[in-house]
Amino acid sequence: MGNEDGTRAIVTLTMNPALDITCDADVVRPTDKIRCSATRYDPGGGGINVARVARVLGAGARAVFLAGGPTGELVTALVRDAGVPLRRVEIAGSTRESFTVNERSTGEQFRFVLEGPTVTPAEQSRCLQALCAAADAAQFVVASGSLPPGVPPDWYQRVADLCADVGARLILDTSGGGLTHVKSGVFLLKPSLRELRECVGQELKTESSQVEAAQDLILRGVAQSVLVSLGADGALLVTASDSLRFAAIQVTAGSGVGAGDAMVAAITVGLTRGWSMAKSVRYGIAAGAAMVLTPGTATCNRTDVERFFEQTPADLSA
């Protein structure tokens, strides 16, 4: 199924997708057998999650991702079942799994994330070729998630260069070396506060220091704008000359898995509609809140997103 206007303005890239397995258990204890129930399987990885949510919100999004082995076959089938157009890049290694256990007795959540398969230089080259073909007519490329073993830390800089060549704007949501090795070409960078701290090597205990760190990245040409996600404290949008703080939407506690990806998806959808960055961020915050209401990494409900969006004032600054 396509989107409402028939275009595919968004292309997402997932270098290290996963089969997301979510289940419930009464109690999680060491050495005991943990009897699990209510098991669900979802295709995971940042870019895949973004594409799934974008489709729910009525936007066209094509997912480019690496996949291999039986797990990769299942992830591919689940992406297709979600109605998301895809371009799969075949790899020899088997796609990883991600395992989440919700402990009913405490409400705690335990997440186990595997490293992922080693990706060869030849497979990396095919991935760039696939991305170039998919992004040729796209408005935005969303690169989201970690880098698997074998992929060099400057990978997302290569993606930024490719986006510049094809005229697409890059939205980047990553961490670690994949973030610190990006030097230029990002339209919107979305680190968490922890990721921003790791990127700049500072504590960033105050909002003014967070703004200063983000503006330093902008002045160095890394990104045009930086959106720092602050979890329960909302988000901080920073440009070269200004900053705007957004309050979080309070919802009943649930699974936070995929909330950040939903936020990125809705922001990107808003931008494809010609909305301002601030209005798009408001939409993103609404989608992140709606995602908390869903089990595991199931996509959020569009009705919930629109309801939260309508309930938030145009000026969400705290």
121's enclosing H/E stretch is: helix 121-135
Rounded Cα distance, 14 and 244, in Å: 29
Give yes or no: 261 in active site: yes
Name the one residue in this structure whose structure tokens are 């291999």: 68
State whether residue 53 is helix, strand or coil: helix
End-to-end CA distance of the chain: give it in Å, rounded. Answer: 39
- Of the residues 161, 261, 304, 315, only one is catalytic, namely 261
Rounded Cα distance, 248 and 286, in Å: 9
Residue from 92, 89, 91, 42 nearest 62 by CA:
89
8 A C-beta contact, residue 43 and residue 16: no
Rounded Cα distance, 39 and 97, in Å: 14
- Catalytic positions: 261
